[in-house]
Structure 1
Amino acid sequence: MITIRPSRPEDGPRAVEIWRQAVDATHHFLLPEDRAALDALVSSFLPQAPLWLAVDAQDHPLAFMLIDNGHMEALFVDPIARGQGLGAALVRHGLSLHAEMSTNVNEQNAQAVGFYEKMGFRGTGRSEVDGQGRPYPLIHLKYGGA
């Protein structure tokens, strides 16, 4: 049984662990120096961020989502829990709070692009660089109904 709940201060280290494992499993396009720089950035803010967590029956976090003003800034699932519907459950929860939620996805992450399209998100634009100005194109998405 999966439950979605707000994060608590003690969940911070686990959220960073989920991020690291998910990025290592899905972001093969990142250069090592960019991966290290992102790790430092994420480790500095993620533990304090107001996250939505998907937790198992023992309250162990398996995935998280970060939404800021209706924009999903992050959605990451522990690779051991992929394919169990956790990402979809978190997105549905986010949509229950923000019916016109938007997000960005790395163009090189084809699995994530397909996931968001399957969830009903539609492209609204593209950027040549990521949020830190690195050469990782982003696709801008907005929920358009599934």
Structure 2
Amino acid sequence: MTSDDIDIRRAGASDAAAAAEVWLRSFGTALPTVRRAHDDEAVRGWFTHVVVPEYETWVAVAGEAGVVGLLVLDDGELEQLYLDPAWRGRGLGDRFVELAKRQCPEGLALWTFQVNAPARRFYERHGFVEAERTDGLRNEEREPDVRYVWRPAAE
């Protein structure tokens, strides 16, 4: 199945549990050295009671596999972009970034951990530029992070 065969749509309440599971699998695989600030049950509750109902949340649904990716936007912030590890490298992340840019045409900003080199390369490939680095004292994981911004090209 290619990225084009996957349906991307706004998440509903019934997607919260599956989106949380994607987040948990992806975080564990992509960031094994980063201390998680919350246990699995807290993450599931956060998706159910905060992320899906309060933010612009999108999910990628791949037939029988169900939810395989998620994108969360909040007023020009790309808050979350996570893919099930088995679905990385199929163009799904590219589709999510294109969607985020359409939804926020004036520009986007995001944070990622400095240790997450694959994510940093991905965002840079999509035109995001580094704007700030921190020592991590402002995030719950206490992990050094980096802020990226994307602005549309002047016409």
TM-score range, shorter chain: 0.7 to 0.9
Question: Does residue 42 of structure 1 match 2:49?
Answer: no
TM-score scaled to structure 2, two decimals? 0.83
What residue is the counterpart of 1:26 in the other structure? 30
Number of residue pairs matched? 143
Determine helix, strand or coil for the equivalent of 1:74.
Answer: strand
Q: Deviations 1:64-95 (Å, cap 9, x if unpaired)?
A: 01111110111000001110111111111010
Question: Distance between the aligned counterparts of 2:121 and 2:38, measured in 1?
Answer: 27
Percent of aligned pairs with the same amino acid:
26
Once the 2 structures are TM-superposed, how far is the Cα of residue 112 of structure 1 from its aligned partner?
0.5
Question: Does residue 88 of structure 1 match 2:112?
Answer: no
Question: Distance between the aligned counterparts of 1:2 and 1:44, measured in 2?
Answer: 26
Structure 2 runs not aligned, ≥5 long: none
Question: Distance between the aligned counterparts of 2:137 and 2:125, measured in 1?
Answer: 23
Question: Distance between the aligned counterparts of 1:17 and 1:77, measured in 2?
Answer: 10
Rate the CA distance shift 1:36–1:106 in 2: closer, same or farther, 3 A.
closer
Point out the more displaced range, 59-68 or 100-109: 59-68
TM-score scaled to structure 1, two decimals? 0.87
What residue is the counterpart of 2:114 in the other structure? 107
Q: Deviations 1:108-138 (Å, cap 9, x if unpaired)?
A: 0100000000111001111211653443111
Question: Distance between the aligned counterparts of 2:33 and 2:137, measured in 1?
Answer: 13
Question: Distance between the aligned counterparts of 1:132 and 1:25, measured in 2?
Answer: 20
What residue is the counterpart of 2:125 in the other structure? 118
Structure 1 runs not aligned, ≥5 long: none
What residue is the counterpart of 2:148 in the other structure? 141
Question: Distance between the aligned counterparts of 1:37 and 1:3, measured in 2?
Answer: 30
CA RMSD of aligned residues (A): 2.0
